Structure 1
Amino acid sequence: MPSPLGNKIKALRKEKKLSLDKLAEMTDSSKGYLWELENKDDPNPSADKLAKLAKALEVTSEFLMTATDMTPDQEVKDMAFFRKYQSLSDTDKVKLQKILDAFD
């Protein structure tokens, strides 16, 4: 029986129309490893692997690890967006800030 973590990974992967192969490529994992995370009772991914999965699925590691809430709420999406923003180059941050300023 899949775990809550496995159910979330699978649901988010399908929502984003990602194959196991594509998600494996995005997270430096094997297809078999991801299949086990999605389908085994007690998956135990490393913190690094969990962070890569969260980034690829556009959620937070904390969201993946909680047993509640099967779909990410706006706060989780905002936190994932901010983490993505933090990893941008300074040039890209300035471009994004200009785009956001245009909405004001």
Structure 2
Amino acid sequence: MTVYVDDAYVPATVGHVTSRWCHLVSDADDPAELHVFAARIGLRRAWFQPGRRPGDGSPDPTKDHYDLTEEARARAVAAGAVEITAHEGGRMRLARRAALRAGLPSRTTLR
């Protein structure tokens, strides 16, 4: 499994935290390893955002992610996450969805 962090840097206030936020994702269909990585950098499991398909709300592992502040992003990179652009993250999600529709493993790496 590879863990990625994008550079979305969306300004927002979540609860009492104001930051520029980005995303921590992996290329695996099972989020278990992503949870292990997230815990290593100090993220709570409750902060995980499981992907859901619009309409029926069924699981969509291509959308599974954690939101990260800039500080948490720096910890993720220091722990080995691969930096990607938000555009690359979008391309990766589209490729994984196409693979799933074709009945293929959806693990898609960018590099």
TM-score, reference length from structure 2: 0.36
Greater percentage in helix: 1
- Larger relative contact order (CA 8 Å, sep ≥ 6): 2
TM-score, reference length from structure 1: 0.38
Greater percentage in strand: 2
Bigger Rg, which one = 1
